[in-house]
Amino acid sequence: MIHDKRRFSVVLLALALAFAPHLARVSLFVSLFVCASWGYGLGMQYRGWPVPPRWLRVALALGCAALVLSVHGRSFGRDAGVDLLSLMLGLKVLESKSVRDLLALLFLAYFVVVTNVLYSQTLVMSMYMLFSVMSVVTAHLHMFSAETRICPDLRRGALLMVQSIPLAFLFFVFFPRLQGALWGVHDERDEGVSGFSETLEPGSVSGLSLSREVAFRADFSGTVPERNALYWRGLVLDTFDGVRWFKSLPFVRIPSDETGPPPGSVSYSLTLEPHGNRWVFSLDRPVQSPHGTVLREERTLESLRLLTSRTRYVLLSLPVLADRTPRPGPEWVGLPADGNPQARALVQQWIRDGLDSRGMVDAILRMFRDGFLYNLRPGPSQGDVIDHFLFVSRQGYCEHYASAMTFLLRLAGVPARIVVGYQGGEQNPLGGYLIVRQSDAHAWVEVWQEGEGWIREDPTSVVSPQRLSSGVEAVLSQEAGALPSRGARMLGQVRRFFQWGWDAANNGWNQWVLGFGHERQRGLWQRLGFDPRTRGGAGKLAAVLAAGLGVIFSTILVIKLRTRRNVEDMALVLYDRFRQKLQHLGVSLNPAEGPLDYARRIEAEKPDLSRPAREIVDAYVAVRYGERSDRTELERLVREFTRRW
Amino acid sequence: MPKFLRTLLLARQHAAFPVRLNQRRIYILPTRSGLVFGFFLLAMLVAAVNYTNNLAFLLTFLLAGIAIISSIHAYANLAGLILEHGRLSPAFCGEEAQLQLFFRAAGRERRALQVKIGKAGADLSLTTAEGRAVDLLVPVTRRGLLPLGQVTISTRFPLGLFRAWSLLILPVTGLVYPRLVPAKASNWAMAQGDGDGGDGGAAPGMEFGGVRPYQPGDGLSRVSWKASARGLGLFVKEYGSVLVQTLYFEWNEVHASGYEDRISRLAGLVHAAEQMGVLYGLSLPGQTISPGSGAAHAHRCLEALALMPEAE
């Protein structure tokens, strides 16, 4: 164990690397304090600045702790803990004079690395975490290796880490996961919340979200349905107040259909990025509610808790569900008493024309097809937003069409509602799953038809069929009007390929590392053939774990104990054989004697052996210390010598 | 520790050269910092469980794996190491004997080994095929034969979380010469008086072995540097009738305060006479060493003194 300037700097560097992601997260005064005290610590080592007196350090510690407590108040959770940890890092550097202090800093550095992952668990961050563990291990090794350069310790640190991966993997698979936290964890959300909201406002300025951020990923166990059929239900909006659509009807739960997969059903798993609300997206229309969710009467899934972490569901949907629900109540045709007079007049005309509910739907779609434009930025409108859309601007995107259609149908007394969710998705050929992004957000209409129940009608599809077949981006690029050159297209292909690869890596990481929870663990154990709930299963589990540990441990031991037999060592072995032979012949062995002295001594003690001995010693010196890397000559000489004498 | 266990362990520690460290000789236990690290790991595990954070689990397990694997590295750092040879040079009692241990890496790199005997310690690192001698200075406090005692070879490499060590009792015995007490002038006189008397004109008792103390007026060319080097003052070479004088150191005639003091004073006389390069002989109860000089002769005399039986 050595404590000197260089080792101090190496430890501080490793600490800084481990702490770097925290720099922007901790309170400002904490990061200032940490930087200042590290700077002073360096000054202590290199410039001989005095160690701050004990009373000052104690005062600093108490003052900073009080400040942290006052900033965080009673909610002592992750953030406050990291603030305190950072303060300790700063203070410890000020008093690090002995080897033990330096070791304490290293251990704190390991801890800091682990606290980082409470904030971010992305693949990139994980790689950085691995890198910082590596640097801390190197600094740690450097204290104990008596090495004057850092490079050999870097190599040793990497080796140590690589060798410990199998053990880490074994622990990871077999350490039992609990289903909840040990004690209350404050909901300190850090992941982005989607641009999706629970209201729909056709006249608002905010256009459709064009974010490429991933909303969820879906992995189908069978064939993936046609893109046109990929309607992902989020929630149903049932009430219009003249400006916006929202959800106001009370929650009614319907039982999950657990009778087994009905014919024609689609099974898939869906990994939802955290969005901070309760809705769970599912392919139109879900028939089962997985653990932790409930099925609402309007056939949407809702989580029992807020979705603040990535969650995976296994879902079952039936694309053609004729549920033949009876005529719904008057609330499904409810509208504000006045407003949008032109729309009201139009519907009155259609009623006078004797259109029934089906005819009404056809009339609306026909109207949209002839003379309406799909436009993602139609501009804001005020007052009678439906009239403005239908008779003035005559352009808009899914929200406008869905809201106008629902409005018209309800005016005619036909029960109708708006469904918001996503439509489509991008198939990732490298991962075999579907990526649904925020830009795939969509709104459509459901109409109640006598004898059939709620039927999906998508007015956007008649205005812009391309929106459904190729997605928003295709529509946008067409709007831009420029056909990309061949080079640009190829470049785009390459870029997309890398994006797919990166997304597949992230998805694998999310699924198999981050998503390896209680359920997945149990599933894996059961697939391996032991059920921990039974007594025999638990025993088997323990046996497998012990066997795995034993195998890994002994393998690494064997690898580690393997001696390196290179040319030099073989030369040494041959030389030893020669010396032992001579010992039998009466020339005593002196291990500290160099080969040339040895040869001289042989000459003096056994003149008759001097010639062959000199040859062997010369050959040995040439291989061991000289240029020659071929040991056959030495081998031949030694063999001849041992045979002859 | 129960007695039989202690005997068993001690029996294991006896080794013959060349000693190869193997699993029978190597012990390994976590150090205190290893235990502290374990406590840190536990804290991390609690955090991981509480936040159900799989990445935290993964990192904690990775660190646990590193700690466990580091114990293998610590063990492998010692295992197979060959201690080929050891030698304890003779030394005067009260001084430090030089212990030389010759290690051979035997096919693997060895980092940060610590060799320790009593309070003396030395650090050692070896490359893959290197052999190297380690010198330790062992304080000696008793004349006679000195069994080396227990040598500890230990390492905390790579992370200091585990300490692997090996206890060895090596077949190395050193010789400790008696404590040196500087020769008194009266004893010199006695030794000289026993030989042929000097008639060179100098004061009796002050002339011996062809050298005499420096007097003002003596030319620098006559100074015997060899004789002066022992630090008792300057001596000049005597040219005259006395060319070589033979000194006899007699057990009974040496002025001394006791048994051990007598031995020490004789050792001092032998040492001084050897330094001056004169012929000297030694007569002890039960044995007589005829006059001679040179390192081997001095060793013979000092050995005889060192091995004198203990006082009754």
Q: Which residue has the tokens 């006695």?
A: B190
Domain count, chain A: 3
Residues B216 and B78 in one domain: no
The type of residue at A172 is F
Residues B123 and B16 in one domain: yes
Residues A315 and A409 in one domain: yes
Specify the pLDDT at position A223.
83
Residues A271 and A366 in one domain: yes
Which of A144, A561, A563 is nearest residue B112 as measured by Cβ atoms?
A: A144
Which residues in chain A are contacts of B59 at CB distance < 8 A? 113-114, 117, 129, 133
Asked if the structure places residue A199 within a domain, the reply is: no
Strand partners, A395: A373
CA neighbor of A233 nearest in space, from A317, A293, A291:
A317
Residues A137 and A277 in one domain: no
Which residue in B has a C-alpha nearest to residue A123's C-alpha? B55
CA neighbor of A541 nearest in space, from A554, A551, A527, A555:
A527
Which residues in chain A are contacts of B58 at CB distance < 8 A? 168, 172, 513
- Asked if B160 and A144 come within 8 Å (Cβ–Cβ), the reply is yes
Residues B11 and B140 in one domain: yes
Residue B302: CA count within 13 A, CB half-sphere: 28
- Give the distance from CA A518 to its chain's centroid: 18
A281, A284, A288, A290: CA torsion to nearest 10? -20
B48 contacts B60 by C-beta, under 8 angstroms: yes
Residues B46 and B168 in one domain: yes
- Asked if A100 and B133 come within 8 Å (Cβ–Cβ), the reply is no
Average pLDDT of the segment spanning B160-177? 90
Asked if the structure places residue A340 within a domain, the reply is: yes
Residues B203 and B277 in one domain: yes
Least confident interval from A37-46, A192-201, A230-239: A192-201
Asked if the structure places residue B311 within a domain, the reply is: no
A143 contacts A104 by C-beta, under 8 angstroms: no
Which residue in A has a C-alpha nearest to residue B101's C-alpha? A592
How do beta strands A301-303 and A266-272 pair? unpaired
Residues A252 and A364 in one domain: yes
Asked if the structure places residue A84 within a domain, the reply is: yes
Strand partners, A454: A448
Complex-level ipTM: 0.78
Asked if the structure places residue B74 within a domain, the reply is: yes
Quick: pLDDT tens for A305-350. 888 777 888 898 888 776 778 888 888 888 888 888 999 999 999 9
Task: Write the DSSP symbol of residue B179.
Answer: P
Specify the pLDDT at position A629.
60
Which residue in A has a C-alpha nearest to residue B33's C-alpha? A103
Residues B40 and B151 in one domain: yes
Q: How far is A276 from chain B (nearest CA, A)?
A: 17
Q: Which of B148, B177, B206 is the last residue of a domain?
A: B177
Q: Where in the sequence is the domain holding B134, given as residue range(s)?
A: 3-177
Q: Which residue has the tokens 């045979």?
A: A643
A458 is catalytic: yes
Quick: pLDDT tens for B277-307. 788 888 888 888 888 888 888 999 999 999 9
Q: Find the length of chain B.
A: 312
The type of residue at B51 is Y
Quick: pLDDT tens for A605-637. 888 888 888 888 888 887 776 666 667 788 888
Taking the C-alpha atoms of residue A79 and residue A91, their distance in angstroms, rounded to an integer, is 19
The pLDDT of residue A393 is above 50: yes
CA neighbor of B187 nearest in space, from B294, B284, B259, B268:
B268
Taking the C-alpha atoms of residue A235 and residue A241, their distance in angstroms, rounded to an integer, is 18
Asked if the structure places residue B213 within a domain, the reply is: yes
Which of B61, B106, B156 is nearest residue A171 as measured by Cβ atoms?
A: B61
A581, A587, A590, A593: CA torsion to nearest 10? -100
Residues B212 and B76 in one domain: no
Residues B103 and B62 in one domain: yes
Asked if the structure places residue A184 within a domain, the reply is: no
Q: How far is B256 from chain A (nearest CA, A)?
A: 42
- Asked if A100 and B33 come within 8 Å (Cβ–Cβ), the reply is yes
Helix (H, G, I), strand (E, B) or coil at A609: helix
Residues B256 and B200 in one domain: yes
- Asked if A172 and B49 come within 8 Å (Cβ–Cβ), the reply is no
Quick: pLDDT tens for A151-208. 899 999 999 999 999 999 999 988 888 765 555 444 444 444 445 677 888 766 555 5
Structure tokens at B311: 């006082």
Task: Write the DSSP symbol of residue A607.
Answer: G
Show Cβ contacts of residue A96 under 8 Å, excluding neighbours closer than 6 positions: A8, A41, A102, A104, A105
Q: Which of A94, A116, A144 is the last residue of a domain?
A: A144
Residues B241 and B163 in one domain: no
Structure tokens at B261: 């003091």
Structure tokens at A45: 């080592």
Asked if the structure places residue A407 within a domain, the reply is: yes
- Residue B194 pLDDT level (bands cut at 50, 70, 90): very low
Q: Which of A112, A144, A176 is the last residue of a domain?
A: A144
- Asked if A563 and B51 come within 8 Å (Cβ–Cβ), the reply is no
B191, B193, B198, B204: CA torsion to nearest 10? 100
Specify the pLDDT at position A206.
57
- Asked if B128 and A566 come within 8 Å (Cβ–Cβ), the reply is yes
Asked if the structure places residue A178 within a domain, the reply is: no
Specify the pLDDT at position A592.
61
Q: Where in the sequence is the domain holding A623, given as residue range(s)?
A: 567-644
Q: A357-369 and A341-352 are packed helices; what angle lies between their axes, rounded to 10 degrees?
A: 130
How do beta strands A231-237 and A416-423 pair? antiparallel
Which residues in chain A are contacts of B66 at CB distance < 8 A? 137, 160-161, 164
Specify the pLDDT at position B200.
35
Q: Which of A106, A126, A144 is the last residue of a domain?
A: A144
Q: Which of B177, B199, B232 is the last residue of a domain?
A: B177
Residues A347 and A473 in one domain: yes
Structure tokens at B22: 């193997």
A22 is catalytic: no
Backbone phi and psi for residue A570, each to the nearest 5 degrees, phi listed first: -65, -40
Angle at A550 between CA A549 and CA A553, to 5 degrees: 80
Show Cβ contacts of residue B113 under 8 Å, excluding neighbours closer than 6 positions: B77, B78, B81, B103, B123, B124, B125, B126, B153, B154, B155, B157
Asked if the structure places residue B261 within a domain, the reply is: yes
Asked if the structure places residue A94 within a domain, the reply is: yes
Asked if the structure places residue A420 within a domain, the reply is: yes
For residue B312, give Cα distances in angstroms to B176, B255, B266, B308: 20, 20, 19, 12
- Asked if A182 and B50 come within 8 Å (Cβ–Cβ), the reply is yes
A23-26, long-range: CB < 8 A, 24+ apart: A25/A79, A25/A82, A25/A119, A26/A79, A26/A82, A26/A83, A26/A86
**Percent of the residues in chain A that have a pLDDT greater than 70, as a whole number:** 89
Average pLDDT of the segment spanning A412-418? 92
Structure tokens at A444: 């459509």
Q: How far is B261 from chain A (nearest CA, A)?
A: 38
Among B36, B68, B126, B172, pick the best mutation site for testing chain A contact (most A Cβ within 10 A).
B68
Catalytic residue among A398, A400, A440, A503: A398
CA neighbor of B271 nearest in space, from B299, B291, B250:
B299
Taking the C-alpha atoms of residue A460 and residue A402, their distance in angstroms, rounded to an integer, is 8
Q: Which is more confidently placed, A167 or A255?
A: A167
- Asked if B50 and A183 come within 8 Å (Cβ–Cβ), the reply is yes
- Asked if B69 and A129 come within 8 Å (Cβ–Cβ), the reply is no
Specify the pLDDT at position B284.
87
Which of A147, A185, A569 is nearest residue B50 as measured by Cβ atoms?
A: A185
- Asked if B160 and A563 come within 8 Å (Cβ–Cβ), the reply is no
- Asked if A118 and B157 come within 8 Å (Cβ–Cβ), the reply is no
Backbone phi and psi for residue A216, each to the nearest 5 degrees, phi listed first: -165, 170
A64 is catalytic: no
Among B63, B98, B154, B170, pick the best mutation site for testing chain A contact (most A Cβ within 10 A).
B63
Which of A169, A182, A513 is nearest residue B54 as measured by Cβ atoms?
A: A513
Task: Write the DSSP symbol of residue A20.
Answer: G
Among B44, B52, B134, pick the best mutation site for testing chain A contact (most A Cβ within 10 A).
B52
Average pLDDT of the segment spanning A68-90? 81
Residues B137 and B260 in one domain: no
The type of residue at A344 is R
Q: How far is A577 from chain B (nearest CA, A)?
A: 15
> From the CB of residue A304, how many other CB atoms can be counted at a distance below 10 Å?
10
- Asked if B59 and A121 come within 8 Å (Cβ–Cβ), the reply is no
Specify the pLDDT at position B240.
46
Domain count, chain B: 2
Which residues in chain A are contacts of B158 at CB distance < 8 A? 141, 144-145, 156, 160
Residues A92 and A241 in one domain: no
Size of interface A-B (CB pairs under 8 A): 167
